[in-house]
Structures are given as structure tokens and as C-alpha cells.
Amino acid sequence: MERLRGLNVLIVAIIVILGGAEGQLVENFYGFTCPNVEFIVQQAVSIKFSQTFVTIPATLRLFFHDCFVEGCDASVMIASPNGDAEKDSKDNLSLAGDGFDTVVKAKQAVEAQCPGVVSCADILAIATRDVVVLAGGPSYNVELGRRDGLISQASRVAGKLPEPDFNLIQLNTMFASHNLSQFDMIALSGAHTLGFSHCDRFANRLYSFTPSNPVDPSLDPEYAKELKDMCPQNVDPSIAINMDPATPRTFDNEYYKNLVKGKGLFTSDQVLFTDESSQGTVSDFANNAFDFNGAFVTAMRKLGRVGVKTGNQGEIRLDCTRFNS
């Protein structure tokens, strides 16, 4: 036992010394310094989930938005009195507050037992895995050792996140810039089996797609009618629509079954099935939940390595919403 503990300390020390290298993360990074961290976070997430289901899609989306801008470094958590932090950008204004609150609550619980040890970035990564599990999705081991970033600016967000009207080339180009393949991108898109969107994000598909086709012809006609009923023109922009009309509160492969039926909410969803080069993967995931779950786990672990800060890069924030200095 002592040899194992000594080895663990040595591994952590080597990682801290090496720092710098992207993806330099390990499972059980806090095995010696905060051995119960994953249990503490899981308990905090469960409590938050018992208060509102929004905890699940909000936390999952928060992780994605964080990783794609400055890397997985919790820069999206920073609150600025001037309204110019990453979370204040137009593309992040729709992030639900329950995701932020989940991480803040988990951080407070961790700080109570392991002060100044665990980064907000790692807590967000753990919490994301936990909400996937709470929704019925696959569990997976989370690699840890991230530091919290020192940059959070609204001006650096534009063009870093996929848009709802992206085509396959645009999606692949953006994901490839983070070392994520088309296969990874399609698997990560499965997170749209949870959560909701606002009418203005897809209204063009219902009313102004093209001059000759006001309604996007790739939409199932019955689904298009349902969406029009829920999202009439000039609707209140705060009205939210489930991304998955079939099982919106369950992490499953229904998202891909919806695409096969022409029931993808965004153009960037439906294109995964209408484009021949990605159609096969969508069909496989629609028919085989095991394949989807495996691909999703692999892609989430790869996503969690994007742009990470390690070693002497970044800091361990004491409050996830503020830089230490």
C-alpha cells in the first residue's frame, strides 16, 4: 500500500514538473491530495439535479462551450463586473445558469474538504460525466490535472462555436481544429438528445429557408407543423423547445433515430443524415446504442484534453467565478 501511495505521489509530481503538454492528464490525479473529489462532486451534482432537471443539459453544454473557446480551463465560469467576460458573449448568453451553479456548488463542497487543490476546470469535467450518468448515459473515467485559465474575454468567442446552420464541412473544420474527427463530432452531437433551444435558432427552417421553399424540405412535414405550432412567427424569444422531441430527459440514441426521420432541430443536426459521408455513422448510432455510447465516451475524453493548461500554467481558482489575483 505504501509503495502504491508513493508511486501515486511520484506520478503527480512528474505531471506537475512536466506541465505544458496538451492532454497531459491522468485519471486519479488527486488520489493523494484529494482522494474523495469525485464522490464530493457527484454528491453536489445529485443535490442540484434533485432541484432541477436543467442541471443536466446545462452542465453538459457548459463543458462544451468552455472547451471550444480557450480550452477546457473553466474560463467560461468567470464573471466580469464590466460584462466583457467569455460568458457575456452573444454566443454564450443562452447558457443556462443552472450549469454555472452546479460547478460553483461542487467547488464549494470540494473546497470545504480540499482547500486550494482541485481546479474548477476539473470539477466541471467531473460534473459533466456525472450529469450524463444521471440522465441514463454511460459512465467513464475522467482524466484530471487541468489548471484554470487566466484569460476570459467575450471578444475571443466569436467564430469558435458551431452555428445551427453549419454544413458538414464547416462542422468538420471546426472540430478538426481541436483534434476531433468527423466520427467524434457526430458522437458529440448526440448530446442534443438532452436540453432545449430557442425558436429563433431554427425559425429560418420554418418560415424563410429559401424563396421557393419557405420550409426546409429536409424537415419531416409533421414535425415542421409541430414546430410551427410551438414557434409561431414573432414568438416570445424565451420560449424553449426540446432538442429531442421523443425522449428529451433521457441520454439515449433517440437523437439519431430522429435524424433518420427528418426530425433534427437544427440544420447542423439534420445535415449529419442528409450528407452521404456522415449518413452511415448516424444510421449505425440509430440502430446500435452500444456503438453510440462507446463513441461518445471516447469523444468526451478527447474533448476534455482540448487546450488544457497543466503544471505551472494557469491557477487553481479558489472561487470559480473570479481569478485569484
211 is in an annotated binding site: no
The Cα–Cα gap between 251 and 59 comes to 14
Q: Which residue has the cell 441514463?
A: 136
**Cα 193 versus chain centre, distance:** 12
CA 121/CA 16 separation, integer angstroms: 16
> Is 111 annotated as contributing to ligand binding?
no
- Which of 41, 56, 62, 65 is the catalytic position? 65
The reply, when asked if residue 75 is annotated as ligand binding, is: yes
For residue 247 the three cell numbers come to: 425522449
Distance (Å, rounded) from C-alpha 252 to C-alpha 235?
Answer: 30
Could you tell me which of 12, 21, 44 has the C-alpha nearest to residue 117? Answer: 12
Cell 501511495 sits at which residue?
5
Q: Is 192 annotated as a binding residue?
A: yes
Radius of gyration of the chain (CA): 20
Quick count: other Cβ atoms within 10 Å of Cβ 302? 19
Residue whose C-alpha is closest to residue 306's, from 120, 179, 137: 179
Q: Is 66 annotated as a binding residue?
A: yes
65 is catalytic: yes
62/97 Cα distance (integer angstroms) = 10
162 is in an annotated binding site: yes
C-alpha neighbours within 13 Å on the C-beta side of residue 165: 9
73 annotated among ligand-binding-site residues: yes
Task: Answer yes or no: is 102 a known binding residue.
Answer: no
Q: Would the annotation count 148 as a binding residue?
A: no
Residues that constitute the known binding site for substrate: 162
Q: Pick out the residues of the known binding site.
A: 66, 69, 71, 73, 75, 86, 162, 192-193, 244, 247, 252
Binding positions for Ca(2+): 66, 69, 71, 73, 75, 86, 193, 244, 247, 252
Binding-site annotation: residue ranges for heme b: 192
- Catalytic residue ranges: 65
